[in-house]
Structure 1
Amino acid sequence: MPHWSVYTGNSEPHDGIDDLPAPPPWRAFDGEPVLPAPRDTDDRAAVSPDRAHRARTYVASPETVQLVNAALVLRRPLLVTGPPGTGKSSLAYAVARELRLGPVLRWNITSRSALSDGLYQYDPLSRLYAARRAAWRAGDTRPGGEVPGTGGPQGVPPASADVEEHLRLGPLGTALLPYGRPRVLLVDEIDKSDLDLPNDLLNVLEEGQYEIPELMRSAREFSEAGTAEVLADGTDEPVAVGRGRVRCRAFPFVVLTSNGEREFPPAFLRRCVRLRLRRPDREQLTEIVRAHLDTPAGDAEHLINRFLNRAADGELATDQLLNALYLTGVAGLDADSRDALADELMPYLSATADGDGF
């Protein structure tokens, strides 16, 4: 393995991330204060059993291993494209497990997703209600409905120190905290976003930092120290944010997945390391089946052949084969019934293959 490689793809957890080469000078970050690494992803309280299983059983190709390491060393996002069922999102969990980088921060993209959703969420209405409840309990209101200390006739609170109680960092915002080790951020199905999101991500991922205006106003007006305690994504433990500015120290390992449903701007693409996952061949399928089900190769060979033959005529996903193998094994069917059930469990994913879209 080349000396610059830290991810091996063999699924055995290790601390090789500590040997990661220094970043290029143009990708070095110095965020403070340095935060400790989160808990290991082997902790079942930190990751769901299904994702833990996918992380342990992920089978990485040599190309995948090489490009994951390239993204880690260059401190660049990894754009992973490929057909459904090729393990694009599972790759993030596999890397996090092997390199002991803690729970994966996951941002599921929809057509309504905006950059602010990934950075942080702020609820001004809950803050207004909290101010009104506090004044009501104190029995102290002023003529015209003004609540003392809120600075407005409608009880609208100013940018004061309690703003952090109504603000929570999102997965992207949490990944860019100044952790001593990189966090893993999965931005899943970015091709479903509106046209602006990839471009909006450019500056944040390029600079490794962002600002929270609500906290910046609070720091200027009410706090000499300017430090706020804010909840991070995936935890109930607050982290310190100084004067509303967040800057990473170890650039996160960012996995952006796409099913190839759209083209991305050239400026976005040139800032990413690009990995194209392809349909697994017979040897890879056999290894995947063994990893997931511990099924002897001879027992699985018939359905693997059937899967490959069907896949020649249309889109199929690897988990369809796994479902068929598991269920036919549990049911204990004869050969004809097994094949019929397997065909039902492996329908084509594209309308052109079977004419009805199902």
Structure 2
Amino acid sequence: MHNLVELDLCVTNLSGVDENYELPKSLFKCKTLVVLKLRSHIIINTPDDSWCLPRLKVLFIETDPVNNLMEKLLDGCPALEVLAVTGHVRVEDLDFNISALELKKLTIHLVTRYRLDEYVGLLNLNVSVRAPKLEYFHLQQSVLSSFVLENSKSLVKATIDLTHHGAAKHPTFASRATALLAQICHVKSLSLSSHNLDEICDLPIFGNLNQLKLHLHRCCSWWLELLKRSPNLESLVIEHVGHNCRGPVYFVKHVKPLWHPPELVPNCLLSHVKTICIIGFGGKDDEFKIAKYLLKNGEVLNSMKIYTDGDLCAKKLEKLSMFERGSKTCKVDIWQRFRNKKN
């Protein structure tokens, strides 16, 4: 009645007793609503009769997804451009379908519960996205679902975060990861975090990729294979995110060293990569070897920025600056966190 434009609703129950709250039916007939954010234990029951949010462009929902939830909700949002969905998958079988013809930005963060002996729901979690105008896609899953991204040619930027080490050991992970990467291989900018890819996945060619950010775990050894398949890469960011892999203990008893130099140098390093940034540099041996390799083989490199994680001694900093450089014009800047000091 008051021409509402934006509603941000977060309901927190401090009593310790689980309680769900149902949205009023009138909300789904608000003709002026543009931004809607719903968080906490909220039941999203759309009216049985006709309803529509004709001006809604931004929708953030935090809920435990159930079958047909998104179909019912998005049917009444014809102008939606930004969608973010966060939730825990608590059912054994789930078809999570998103169809939005005007959607430009999509974020999905689904957490699948697991036991130490198996990942529950892994085989029966199916996600389908139909968004022909989609430009940005962010997917974060503890367990990778079976994923279909229709008409993804408009996609420019993607962020893929596969968080759990153990899930990558499941027999279905290889085929699902291969299919997902093949559907986003034409992006220009990619941020990727995963524990295993090269040994079990058939990585596609990323012919349009010019910006790449990699989050490297201790067990990672696949990332140089991705560089080989990114012939036009110009900007590379590597972030060392620590040496403790998450997931069931029995999956990570034998963690491989991070660094496996390839026999052939990726062509993009020799001819295209102009800037490299290394974040979270802690001074470990394999981190030094990675920096040394990139400097030596970056023949057209203009700059390398290294952000140290902690307080490295002067000798280690000097060691970084003395590495051989494949490009005579390459400038190396070293920044120490906590000191805000440039070397």
- Common fold by TM > 0.5: no
The structure having more radius of gyration, on CA atoms, is: 1
Higher relative contact order (CA 8 A, sep 6+): 1
